[in-house]
Amino acid sequence: MLNFISSSVRYQGTYDWMAGPLTADTIRLGNRVQNSRNLQLTGSMTLSSLYNKVPYFKKINQKFRRTGRSRGSLNRRSGGGRNQTNQPLAPKKQEQTYTNNIKLVANETQKITHKLNTKKVKVIVTGAEGKIIPGKINILDANTIEFTPLVSASQAMLSVSGKPGSQSIMKEILDITTRVLLGVQMVSVNYSKNGGTVLPGYLPEPTLFGAGNYTPEIGDFNSNAGTSFAPGLPFLFGWQDQNFAKDAASKGWLTTDSTLNMPFQISKNERINIRATVEPLPDLRIDITANRSMSKNITEFYNYDSHSGSFNANSFSESGNFSMSTLTWGTAFFAIGKGDANQSDSFEKLKENRIIIARRLAGQRSPDNGYGYNPSDDHPNFPGYPDGYGPNSVEVLVPAFLAAYQNKDPKKIQLGLFPSIKFIRPNWRIQYEGMVSKIPGLNKIMRSLNFTHAYRSSYNVGAFNTNLNYFEDGDGFSYVRDFSENFVAPYDFNSVSITETFSPLINIDIMWINDFTSRAEMKRSRNLNLSFANNQLTEVMSNEYTVGLGYRFTQMDLIIKTKNSQQAYSNDLNLRADFSLRKNKTVLRKLDDNDNQITAGQSAFSIKTTADYMLSDRFQLRLFFDKIINTPFTSLSFPTSNTNLGVSFRFTLAQ
């Protein structure tokens, strides 16, 4: 019953002991131990297998199965479509008739099995003289009817006609609706958690499988710790423990030599990927993805204090990066313009959101916490903002930035710098790649119609590091302030960014019946980088429009003459022309004032034409003409125009 579900768990652990360097007897640097762990959980549900357990659902899936991927795209190197075939149109269902001679008795019902496999039937009953015999008809199912005559007839001809497989409009609507509801075909989740630990200054030496009992020598630190099994079974099997160095020090496994200047290191990487495939209609495929990834690297020094007789942990440092799929569709569509730094509604919303986020952050702190803080007090440098949370605070800007460009309510957006998994949002790719033979009207002019749309957006923290000034007090908050009288954040951020691409926003690729091909495509991208070093947003925008045309001349004759001979060829000639217009612009938007400045940008119009002719299976002749015209949006650049014209020969060595 549950064979549509599959799952796997994979765990891999490694351990390595490395002997320390040879030194003088007075220096004892110890050895080094390290381990690693790779934990991976995978689960998937093939829902199509589940649906097929229900006979009606299985019949619906068979009825709406894929017609097969089409060929002949201008985006593919198809060699001019030599492998393309004009697939035959699906034959129309012909009306069939069932006839039978029967004897009728007035008001006596007879059951007739016609086996036409349709409920849309026409029933005619005639007598010996060709007159129609009246009666009542009751359709039991697609193959059986009941006829109750109003008069008797010793001999009558019954005729039942209809198109096999045809059904009512309501049944068609029910089947299509059911197929759409069964569109989710597959769902998979992949979770991985990797990590590694490196501990220098490790004194025990292995006796068996890298481990063994260890007793600290007399005079060593904590020599009264007794005998212990080092480094322990969890560490041998790759388990990660941030307190491992502290436990090792308490058991006397670490050297007390002050010349050792290597930190305890631990790395963590956590990633989750979610994927779903939806096929609501034949040849229409929707791939939905979502992911979240976070990496951390922690370093800390453990130095022996001879006065206290214990190890002190110091110079704790944590760094890493973060990425998560998000949804910024609500603010994606706007006019790029030309040479002006256009106003951004989302950026203005970012500035407005700051006061709301600041008050929410201040409201998390209790006014009677013993630290002399009152959330209702005004910020000393920014009146109207709560004390400790000014407009340029990192903790204020990050949620305000996400709320503005995700088009979310700033009163409900998560306040953390790293949104949790429940705030992950989907990205998608939609493709229709099928034959149009079953679409009335289109099948007379087209061979194939391909449609593509893809959307991807992600929130990224390129790098973060521990803020050395951050100190968490008993209530879980830090009251240390920076030069702007804002509370310092747990981490130092250089910048955060949102990367959004429509690649493409829409692409339509058509192969016509007469070997003519056409393509129209629109792409759009946006990169938003919020820098905390200078409190400004860098916005890079790009739009591209492309129209492509192509035609294939089949079996075109070509004669090449030389001085002593001539050679005749008869192969396909493939012509192609692409026209594109691309606009890109970079705008700097400052948070401290209303100055928006365009720093780069241009409009590029290009024409690319080619003519390909295969002289043999491995030798291709190509004529090409390319022209690109660049028109800059700033005075720092000059308009340029580049033209390429020539002939190329291509010889393929591979089979």
Instruction: Please tell me the predicted confidence (pLDDT) of residue 350.
Output: 95
599 torsion bin: left (phi>0), alpha (psi -120 to 50), beta (else): alpha
Query: Mean per-residue pLDDT for 94-99?
Result: 84
| Site of tokens 């979240």 | 292
- On the question of pLDDT at 14 being above 90, the answer is yes
* Secondary structure letter of residue 251 according to DSSP: T
Q: How far apart are CA 361 and CA 413, in angstroms?
A: 12
- On the question of pLDDT at 91 being above 60, the answer is no
| Site of tokens 């659902």 | 57
Query: Mean per-residue pLDDT for 555-565?
Result: 74
pLDDT in tens, 280-317: 988 899 999 999 999 999 999 998 888 877 888 888 99
Instruction: Please tell me the predicted confidence (pLDDT) of residue 435.
Output: 64
pLDDT in tens, 53-76: 898 888 888 878 776 554 444 444
pLDDT in tens, 15-51: 999 998 888 777 888 899 999 999 999 999 999 889 8
Q: State which of 26-30, 414-418, 556-560, 612-616 shows the largest mean pLDDT.
A: 414-418
Alpha helices in 409-520 (DSSP H): none
Query: Mean per-residue pLDDT for 493-511?
Result: 94
Check: CB of residue 266 under 8 Å from CB of residue 196: yes
Q: Going by DSSP bridges, is the β-strand pair 566-590/284-305 parallel, antiparallel, or unpaired?
A: unpaired
Query: Mean per-residue pLDDT for 606-632?
Result: 91
Sequence letter at residue 194: N
- On the question of pLDDT at 328 being above 90, the answer is yes
Instruction: Please tell me the predicted confidence (pLDDT) of residue 80.
Output: 40
Structure confidence at residue 231 as a pLDDT band (50, 70, 90)? very high
For the sheet containing 153-162, what is the strand order? 96-104, 153-162, 122-126
Q: How far apart are CA 246 and CA 163, in angstroms?
A: 82
Mean pLDDT, all residues of the chain: 87
Total Cβ atoms within 10 A of residue 626: 15
- On the question of pLDDT at 562 being above 80, the answer is no
Check: CB of residue 403 under 8 Å from CB of residue 409: yes
Instruction: Please tell me the predicted confidence (pLDDT) of residue 71.
Output: 43
Q: How far is CA 386 from the centre of its chain?
A: 39
Among residues 206, 207, 226, the alpha carbon closest in space to that of 215 is found at 226
Rg (Cα) of the chain, in Å, rounded? 37
Q: How far apart are CA 297 and CA 195, in angstroms?
A: 9
CA dihedral 251, 254, 257, 263 (to 10 degrees): -140
Looking at the chain, the whole-number percentage of residues with pLDDT higher than 90 is 50
Check: CB of residue 67 under 8 Å from CB of residue 434: yes
| Token digits of residue 374 | 């009152």
Instruction: Please tell me the predicted confidence (pLDDT) of residue 119.
Output: 80
List Cα–Cα distances, 126 to 119, 121, 157, in angstroms. Answer: 21, 16, 5
Check: CB of residue 175 under 8 Å from CB of residue 63: yes
Instruction: Please tell me the predicted confidence (pLDDT) of residue 89.
Output: 42
Q: Going by DSSP bridges, is the β-strand pair 446-466/144-149 parallel, antiparallel, or unpaired?
A: unpaired
- What is the value of pTM for the model shown? 0.81
| Token digits of residue 540 | 């890079």
Q: How far is CA 142 from the centre of its chain?
A: 46
